[in-house]
Structure 1
Amino acid sequence: MDETPEIVTKVTGWLADAGEVAMGWLASPAAWSQFALLAAAFIVARIVTLRVNPVLSRLIAPPEGRTGPIATARSFVLRFLPLLLPLFAYGLTAVGEEVTRSLFGSGEVIAFGKRVFLFLAVRAFVRDILTDPFLRLLGRYVLIPVAALYTLGLLDDITTRLEETVIALGNIRFSVMALIRGVIAGSLLFWLGSWSNRQSADYIKKQAELRPATRELAVKATEVLIFGAAFLLLMSIMGIDLTAVAVLGGALGVGIGLGLQQIAANFVSGIILLVEGQTTVGDYVELDGGEKGTIVKMTARSCILETFDGKWIVVPNEHFITSRVVNYSDQGSANRYEAAFSVSYDTDINRVPGIIEAAVAALPFVLKKPDGPDVELRGFGESGIDFAVEYWVNGIDDGKNKYGSQVLFAIWNALKAEGIEIPYPHRVVELRDGSTPVKARVKKAGA
C-alpha cells in the first residue's frame, strides 16, 4: 500500500490542530469573553471611523482645481482612508489583548482576532489603495496569501520548511525560500528601478539649460546607476556572495573580448557621442554609407534616423565615430542653398541681380542673416548666360520643406514679369543637295 504523501499528512495535522483549538475556544468562557471584546472593538472602530472619515476627508482633500506637489501629496494621503477601520480595530484589539492576558493569563482568541483585522487591512490596501497593475498583481497573489497564512498561524512552519529545502546548482546552493524571496524582491526592485528611472528621466529632460546631449547622457548614466544598484541589492537579499558577481564580470570581460566587441564598441561610441554633443536628437545627418535622416532617438547601442518618407534607419553608434558624418542641422542652424537659372544673350544682365534678389528675398522662409539672397554670374553657356542665386533658410530642403521649388517659381515669375527670356538650346543644321550646302538655324527645345 502506498504511503500517504508528507504534504497531505502535514495538512491533515494542521486541520486537526485547528479543529481542536476551535472546539477548545467554543467550550471556554474566557474565549467567549475574548470574542465579546473583539466584537466590541470592531463596533467602536466602526463608529469612530464613520465620524472621523468625513472630517479627515475635508481636511486632507486639496482644494478643487489646485495642483502642485502639496496637492498631489494630500491626494495621495487621502487614498489611505480605507485603512482607518481595520487598523483602528487592530489597535483596540491589541490593547484588549494586553488587558486579557494580564487578567486571565490567556489571549489566544483575541490575538487571532487581531491578526484577522491585520489581514483585513492588507486586503483593503491591495483592493483600494494599489493602482499600479503590477503592484496590485503582486499584492493579490503574494501579499494577501502571506497575510492569510500569518492569520492562521501557519506562516512560520511553511517558512521553516521552505528554508530547509535546498537547491544545488553546481557549487551554488540556495533554499527555496531564498529563491522565492529573490523573485519577489527582484520584481519589486526592478519595478521601483523602472519607476525611478522614468521619474528621473522626465526631470532631467525638463532642464532646458542643459544641452540635449548632456541630458541624454545624464539619463543613461542615471539608468545604469539605478539598475546596477538594484542588481547588487538583489544579490545581497538572495544571500549570493558578491565574489560570484566578480567571477561573472570576469567571464563577461572575456566574452566581450571574444565575441561582443562590436556591442562594446557601439556602447562606448554612444557615450562619446553624448559627451561631445556634435550630433544629438533633432539633427539631420548624412553618413558615408548614404544613410540620412533626422535623429529621433539615441540609445546605448545605436541611433535611430527618421527619413522624410517616414522610414526608420537604425545606425550603430560606431558609424558616427569611424566614418564621415555631415550634419546639416546642428541644433537648428541655418543652411545655404542655391538655385541655378539662365537668361538669353539679348538680356541686360546688369538688371538680373536686383530683380532676382528682390523676388527671392520676398519669400517668407528666406533669411536675411547670416546673409540675404545673392545672385552670382556663373558663366556664358551655349544657349544663354548662366546665373545662380544663393539663399539661407532654417531647415532642410526636403520632405515637408520644399524650398527649392518655391525659389524656382519665384525666379520664373520675376523674369516673366520683366520680359526677360529664359533661353532654350539652339542648333544649326546643314542641308546638302549635292554641291551647295544650305544652312538653316533651328531652335529646338530640350536639346
Structure 2
Amino acid sequence: MDPEEQIETKDALAESTAEAIEFGQQLWAFLTDTAEVLLRPWNAYQLGIAAGLFLIAALLARPIAASFHDWLRGRAGWPKWRIRVGLVVHKRIRGILFVLLIWSTVLIMQEITWPSRSRVLVVIANLSLAWLIVSFATRLVANPLLRKMVKYGAWVWITLRILGLTAEATAFLDSIAIDFGDLRISLFLIVQAIVILGVMLTLARAVSSVAANRIRNNPDISPSMQVLGAKLAQILLLGGAFFIGLKAIGIDLTGLAVLSGAIGVGLGFGLQKVVSNLVSGLIILLDKSIKPGDVISLGETFGWINSLGARYVSVVTRDGREYLIPNEDFITNEVVNWSHSDRFVRLDLKFGTAYGDDPHEVRRVAIDAAKGVSRVLSGGKRAPVCHIIGFGDSSVDYVLRFWIDDPTGGLTNIRGNVYLALWDAFKDAGVSIPFPQREVRVMNDALSVEVAETRGGESAESG
C-alpha cells in the first residue's frame, strides 16, 4: 500500500471513530435525559401503571391460554394453516392481553386527564403493539434463522422510529463500512439488505405457495405439468424477488451478471451430474413419461411415484422404503410404467394338473376361483381366462390370466391370494396337482453278492 492510500485509510478510520464517539455521546445524552424524565413523579407513576397492567395480563393469560388450548384441540378438522395461526395466537396471549389493557388505559386516561400524563403509556403502548405485529408477521418467514434476523431487526428499527433515534442510528451504522474500490459496504447496508431481502423472499414464497395450490387444484392440467408449473412459478417468483431486493438496496446487477456467467461456466464442468439430473427432471415433466402416483419398475425397485424433484424421483416400495432415484436413471434406463396410459394390469399364473382331470372342469374351476378374489376384475373384456399351454411330462400345463386396476396395492399379494384360491377350489373339486415322483428299487441279497463277485473277478484279471 502506497503512502497516499495509507493516509486515506487512516483518515477514514479516524472519521468513523469520531462518528461512533459522537453517536455514543448522543445515545448517552438521550438515555440520561430519558432517565431524568422517567424519574419525574407522574412519569414514574405511568411506569407503575404499565407494570401493573403487565402483571394483570400475565395472571389472566394462564387460564385463558389453557381454555384456548383445549378449544383448539377440538378443532381437528380445521386446515393446517388455521391450526398454525391458532398456535401462534396461543403463544402470545399474554402480549395480546397486555396490548388490549394498556390501550384501554391510555384511551381512558386521555379522556379524564391531560394528554401529558399519559405520554409514557402511549410510547409503551405503541412499542407493545408494534412488537406484537412484528412477531405475527415474521411467522410467515419459513427459515428460522432468517425469521429471527428479520424479527429483531424490525423490532430495533421500529423502536428507534418510535423513540425518534432513526437518523442518529442510521448515521452510526453507515459510518461502519468497508471499501472495495468503488464498492462501499456499510453495516447499515447489510442490515437493510437482510430486512429487504427477507421481506421480498417471504412475499414471493407466499405468492408461489398460493400459485402452486391453484395449479395443483386445476383438474384440466395433468399431474406432471402441475409439478412443472408449480416449480417454475416458485423459481421465477423467488428469483425475481431476489434481484428486485438487490436492486432496491442499490447493488449494481451488471457486475453480478458477469460474475454469474463465469461461475456458470465453472459449474458446468464441475457439476455435470447435477446439471444432467436437472435437465432430465425437466424432460420427465415435459414428456409426461411418469407422474406422481404411477406404479413403476426400475431394475430391482418396484413401487409408486411419491413425488418428482428437481434432482431425483421419490419412489415408495411396498415395504415402506423410499428410494430417491436420480432423474438421469429414468432417461437412460428401461422403466416399466404399470400405469402410464391406464391403471389396468394383467397378471399371469401358471399351474399344472394331472392327466386324469377333465381340462374343461379345470378351466371352469380356475376361472371361478379367480373371480372370487377381491381386486380381481370379473366382468367385461377383462374377466379372468384360463388356457392350456402344453402337455408336460407329468401334468397338463395351464395359464390363468386376470386383470386388476389398482397396482399400487401390490402384485405379489394378489398373486398369492389367487394361488390360495386355486388350491382351495381344486381341493373341493377333487383336482390333483401332480409333482415329480421317483421309484427306488432294491435288489435282493443273492443277486447283490453275485454282482459283487463278478466285479471282483474282473478286477483280478485286469490286475
TM > 0.5 between the two? yes
SS, match of residue 210 in structure 1 = coil
Q: Out of 309, 313, 318, which is 1:299 matched to?
A: 309
Q: Is the 8 A contact 2:127 2:159 kept in 1?
A: yes
Q: Out of 241, 246, 254, which is 1:235 matched to?
A: 246
Post-superposition CA distance 1:365-401 (Å, at most 9, x none): 2113442111111111111111111111123397586
Q: Is the 8 A contact 1:87 1:118 kept in 2?
A: no
Tell whether 2:372 aligns with 1:359.
Answer: no
TM-score, reference length from structure 2: 0.69
Separation in 1 of the partners of 2:291 and 2:269? 31
Q: Is the 8 A contact 1:87 1:121 kept in 2?
A: no
Q: Which residues of structure 1 form unaligned runs of 5+?
A: 28-34, 40-64, 94-99, 101-106, 438-447
Q: Is the 8 A contact 1:126 1:136 kept in 2?
A: no
Using the TM superposition, name which of 134-143 and 260-269 deviates more.
Answer: 134-143
The corresponding residue for 2:261 is: 250
Closer, same or farther: CA 83–265 of 1 in aligned 2, 3 Å: farther
Q: Out of 116, 127, 130, which is 1:119 matched to?
A: 127
SS, match of residue 304 in structure 2 = strand
Closer, same or farther: CA 118–138 of 1 in aligned 2, 3 Å: farther
Closer, same or farther: CA 397–231 of 1 in aligned 2, 3 Å: closer
SS, match of residue 359 in structure 2 = coil
Q: Which residues of structure 2 form unaligned runs of 5+?
A: 1-13, 47-74, 87-92, 452-463
Post-superposition CA distance 1:33-60 (Å, at most 9, x none): xx99xx9xxxxxxxxxxxxxxxxxxxxx
Q: How does 1:260-271 map to 2 (within 5 A)?
A: 260-271=271-282
Q: Is the 8 A contact 1:163 1:176 kept in 2?
A: yes
Q: Is the 8 A contact 1:179 1:238 kept in 2?
A: no
Closer, same or farther: CA 252–419 of 1 in aligned 2, 3 Å: same
Percent identity (aligned) = 27
Separation in 2 of the partners of 1:355 and 1:128? 69
The corresponding residue for 2:173 is: 162
Closer, same or farther: CA 319–20 of 1 in aligned 2, 3 Å: closer
Q: Out of 402, 420, 435, which is 1:391 matched to?
A: 402
Q: What displacement does 1:9 show?
A: 5.9
Amino acid paired to 2:365: I
Q: Out of 331, 346, 356, which is 1:321 matched to?
A: 331
Q: Is the 8 A contact 1:112 1:151 kept in 2?
A: no
Separation in 2 of the partners of 1:381 and 1:138? 78
The corresponding residue for 2:354 is: 344
Amino acid paired to 1:376: H
Tell whether 2:184 aligns with 1:176.
Answer: no
Closer, same or farther: CA 412–85 of 1 in aligned 2, 3 Å: same
Q: Out of 214, 218, 221, which is 1:203 matched to?
A: 214
Separation in 1 of the partners of 2:164 and 2:407? 72
Using the TM superposition, name which of 131-140 and 241-250 deviates more.
Answer: 131-140
The corresponding residue for 2:57 is: none
Q: Out of 196, 203, 212, which is 1:192 matched to?
A: 203
Amino acid paired to 2:29: A
Q: Is the 8 A contact 2:382 2:403 kept in 1?
A: yes
Q: Is the 8 A contact 1:329 1:395 kept in 2?
A: no
SS, match of residue 297 in structure 2 = strand
Closer, same or farther: CA 366–150 of 1 in aligned 2, 3 Å: closer
SS, match of residue 421 in structure 1 = coil
The corresponding residue for 1:30 is: none
Higher helix share: 2
Q: What displacement does 1:132 show?
A: 5.4
Separation in 2 of the partners of 1:243 and 1:136? 30
Closer, same or farther: CA 179–369 of 1 in aligned 2, 3 Å: farther
Q: Is the 8 A contact 1:397 1:403 kept in 2?
A: no
TM-score, reference length from structure 1: 0.71
Q: What displacement does 1:143 show?
A: 2.6
